[in-house]
Amino acid sequence: MKKLNEKTGFKELIIKSQSGDLDATEQLINRLSPLIKKHSFKLGYDEACSDLTLWILETIAQHKPNVIWESGEIENIIQKRLNDG
């Protein structure tokens, strides 16, 4: 198994996470943590961080590997989700 490091690509982490690699999942959440914290603060309720983390985990599980997320697209997806309620 290839050791994950800081330079492991986002797409590769998603694919590994979908295959059950908990290290890849943890690294994805760690990389997205600043974004999660930013948007949970905007939501303004105690469980917002947990809710966003769960939503991201569900989104990763449903992500299709052949779809490429551009820079900033994840933040746009989260913002749309927040606006949709």
Token couple for 71: 């820079």
Reported pTM: 0.67
Q: How many domains does the chain have?
A: 1
pLDDT tens per residue across span 10-31: 888 888 998 999 999 999 999 9
Cβ atoms of 24 and 17 closer than 8 Å: yes
**Domain assignment present for 43:** yes
**Domain assignment present for 40:** yes
Parent domain of 66: 27-84
pLDDT tens per residue across span 26-77: 999 999 899 889 888 888 888 999 999 998 898 888 877 666 666 677 677 7
**Domain assignment present for 22:** no
